[in-house]
Each structure stands twice: as structure tokens, then as C-alpha cells.
Structure 1
Amino acid sequence: MPGPLIVEQLPNPTTDFFIQPLLNTLGVTPERVGLGEPPPVTVLEGDSVIFVRYLSPRWRRWVEANKDRLGQIIFFMDDDLFDLKAHAGLPLHYRWKLYRLAWRHQQWLRKIGAQLWVSTPWMAEKYADWNPRVLQPGTPYGDPQPLKTLFYHGSESHSDEIRWLYPVVEAVLKQEPTLCFEIIGDSRVHSLFSALPRVYVLHPMTWQAYQALLSHPGRTIGLAPLLDNAFNSARSYTKFFDITRAGAAGIYADHPVYQSIVRHQHNGLLLPMDQQLWVEAILKLSRDDLYRQRILKNTGTPL
């Protein structure tokens, strides 16, 4: 299968459990592109395309314009996307999505001679007239790579700090694959960080639930940015205790709120609100275990 192009709505488990393991066994490296992205301008002779679960009119037009040059045209599904009766009981918005991106394209797929790949023998039997191929799932998980958790647990009153942190988190996740980021927030926070890899957005919770959360081990670096404004002038340094309780080394804004509890490079880092300095400090802390452990050990040491 020369030069396969995988078209998927977003990076997703379907591709990673079914399509990628097959291509790995074939020694083939695909190009993965989003369903909402523009199709490629040029097509090499014999290129194949695999649509994972979904299709769109723009991609149909692209296939029709390049059909003479394309190799295999494949549609893969790991749910019964082509039977509206099977969708009964699903949320209405999801049923509409399945109709719009899958069901209504099946006749076109048959017309152009697309191959059907499915995930189970049950679906292969149901669509036997299409002569589908059954793919066995494979694990997308390689050797476990321990991740270090970077976190910021600010409430909605810290919306300015959350926005300020975005480019910091974006930069460190790009440069350090062993880091993940945890933040508490609502749908707006989720939307803001949704494009970044290894980000976990936790729903706001009660004080008792938050205390229980901090008691679970695994957090590495806690962040406490604080912009210089009138509202923040009234705050206290309680986040120092949250970060310490989580078993993490902390990076704090060099602000009067934290200057009374944190001694720079002793029991935490005090940094001006310069995003590049925060990126550099996070990377250093994440990569230097002894440095981080020394700071954490000193969090119980009075100034």
C-alpha cells in the first residue's frame, strides 16, 4: 500500500487501535490529516487513502478529482455507522453527526468502489455484500514512559493567569515529552487547552474533594502565577500549602503575596511574570530530579 493517507476527524483511538497497528506490521508510515483540513494539492500515483469513520463533501470532491491517480480508497468503521436503527437511543446531536459524516456517504462509497474495513466479525457478516476486511485491534501503548505532572489549580477568579499560562504550557509540552499538565476549569478552560497534547482539565470540585485530590501522589511541579492587579493584592499565599501538600516543587510569582513565604531556590522558585523565564524554570525543574527534591525537602523549613 504505497503512501497511505489517513483522514480522521481528530487524533483518535480508532486510528491508533486499528489502522496504525496494521500499517506498523506492513512497515508503512502514513500521513495523517484532519477531516476539516484542506486535502493535499498533489497526489502521487498509487497513493491510497483511508477514511477513519467519517467523510465530508470536500473530501468526496477531492477523491473524485483524483480517482484515476489514487490507489485503494478505504472506509474504516468500528461502530455500526451505516444503520440508522442502530443509532436509536443515542443523543440527538450525535445521531446527526453520524448521519452527516457517515451514513449519507455509504452509497457514494459503494459507487466509487471503496473498500470497507470493519472492526468485528459481526459487522463483517452484516455487511457481507461489501466483502469487508476485519482488522484486529492492536495496542497503541509502547513501553511505559513515566510522566511528570505539571499543574495549576486556580479558580475562575484566576482567568487572566490561566490565559497567561497557555503559551508557557504550550512551550514546555512541546520541548519536554515527559511532562503532562493538569488544570482545574470549566468548558472555557477545556476549550482553551484542547489543542495541546497531554493536558487534563479537571472539573471544579468541593473543598473536601480537592483535599482528597491533593492526597493522591504523582504531582511534580506546581505553578502559582499572579498578575499584578488590585484584586490579586488582597490574596494570601495559600497555594504554597496546596503545592506542598501535593508533594510538588513550586514556581511562584515574585509578588508580595509569595515573597513572605518563599525563598528563591530554597523552598520554591520566585520568578517575575516573564513567560520565557517560567518555561526555562519548568524545564530545569522537570529535568533535574536532585534540584527538585532539594526544593521540596525545604518546603518544611521556616524562613
Structure 2
Amino acid sequence: MTRRRLHVLYEWGDDLRPHGSAYIRLLRPLSHPAVQGALDVTFGRDDEGQPVDAVIVDRLWRPEMWLGDDAAMARARRLVEAAHARGARFLYALDDNLLEVHGPDAGANPQAAVVDYWLRAADGVLVTTEALRQRFAPLNPRIVVVPNALDERLLPGAVRPTSADDRVVIGYMGTLTHDEDLRMIAPALRTVCARHPGEVELQVVGVVERRETLNALDGLPLRMVSPFPEEGEYPLFIVWLTHRLRWDIALAPLVDTPFNACKSDLKHLDYAAMGAAGVYSRVPSYAGTVRHGETGWLAANDTASWVEALETLIARPALRHALARAAADYLYTERVLARRAGMLIGALEELLA
């Protein structure tokens, strides 16, 4: 049987490197040993017009597409037309509600014009959550959900010992779209740190960009941590994150917005790989997979609930360790590519049938 040929246009940034989400959802799964021989796949920043059965475009593809201007729209149309002109399917891959990155106000989301066009024009769409499928269903009926999974080849493979001293290390990781999430729990962090002077350290990876976020965290026992620049690309970043950092508790607050409502549980997987006990907002993104009190702790989006969660886990190290172990068991038995890579192949076959 002839193998299908695919060309993946991953999303890349100003540094010309693939974004982390492209590695997680496309590059690592489609090059995993578990699916070797199933497809002929090439990856690149541009469409070279090669003969393929499908072109997969990831998110916004190129930095300038975020502008959503006439030039971006013209490029978006040319890409679809070029694929169809040579008999290839055009597939679109998304892991975020890019129609509403900055809320429902269309004027604040210039990229939405490109996303809307590609969703409507696509011969099939790959998404990471059921919420995304429902959000995009009015624009395209051919949508398949493939939940995120991590590449076990990059992970430690077992829960490691946490912080070596007497302090409890509480960590948060997030991109620049998550300032508001971190600010939501800042009062809880301030309360807990005041109750445990010298006993708690906060570590933050990424995220803090806006002045109001820095103000909300001012005076807390906070340490910003980051990899070396050469470790910024996803495969090395996830190795740095899961092998180098030692967090006792890891935080995943998520404000209830149209954008966040479609988010996946990726932080649950990352924190499980780190060996940390995770505290997650009690929202659909996490409530569907995090088992409260077993693989993580779910907290309502109010200060009292987050204080309770943190106080509970600070006071009960045995519970922290149990949550971390159970989360890691869940990750390695259900959410790694050795178990899940075939799901993406099945989804592609369904869309190309």
C-alpha cells in the first residue's frame, strides 16, 4: 500500500525556530518510532510545491500572519490555492482558540481573519480539545480531536526527589498570554508566603511581562528561572524543565475566558513529568482529566480556595508525593507518544479518506 505523503508547515517565530506547540502536536508525534513507516512526512517553514497528498498548516504558520492584514490574507489564500491546484488536501492544525486570543472583541484579534478563513477553507481540521471542536464546528464539520501527549524520549521516566532543603518550592510556568492567570492567584500567594516566612520559595518560568503582574508579585520570595538561550527550543527546554527544576508544588491557574475555555490540560502533563504536585483551576480544561486528591488538586477560581489548596499541600508532604506519583503514572501509562502517536495517524487517515 502506498504511503500518504504529507508536508507540515509548522508555526515558527522571529528566530526561525518551530514553536513548542508545533513540536508537541506535529513534529515529535509524526517522527516518533511508533509511527515509522505509516506516512512519508516532510517539515518546513515554506511550501515548496512538492507533490504530496496533504499540506498541514499549523496555527498562524508565520510571524506576519498575526497581523491579519491584506498581505497576510493574500498569503493565506495562495497557500490554500497552491495545495488544491496540485491535488493536495489542505489540513489545518490548532491547539488554541485563535479567534479570541484577546477576548471576544474582533478588533483586538487581527489574526482572527486568517484563522477564520483557514478553518472554513480546510479539508479537515486537527484540534486538541473537544471544546475547540465545538467552538469551530460551525465553520467546518470535518474536525478531529487529538489530545496532547508528551514524547517520553525527552522525559525523566520516573518521579524524582523534589527540593533538597526545608523550603517548599512552588512553581509556575506560562507563556506571555497567561499574565492574567498568575495575577488571579497573587493574593493567595501573598497570604501563604506571609504565613510561612522563610519556608516557601516561588519560582516562575516565563510569563511575567506586564507591569501590573510584576506589581502583584512585588515583595514575594520570588525567583525568575530560565534556561540558557540555546535551551529555549522545545526539545531542550522540556529536558531542562523536567530534569533540572525541583518543584514541590506546581500551579496552573486559568481565568474563565473564551480563549482559556478551549485550553488543553498540557500543564498537567508537564507538571507530572516534573514530579510536582499540581494545583489546577477547577475549569473544564483540567477537571476532565485531573482527579482531585489523586493526580492533582482542583481549586475554584477564588483566593480562599487557592489558599486552602496551598496550605494543604505545604502541610502534608506525603500527600504531595502521592499526587506526584499518581500523576506520573497517568502520564506514562496514558499520555505519552509511545501510547498515543498512533492516534494522530488515525486522525489524519480519517480526514484524508
TM-score by length of 1: 0.48
Q: Which has the higher contact order (CA 8 A, sep 6+)?
A: 2
Q: State the structure with more CA Rg.
A: 1
TM-score by length of 2: 0.42
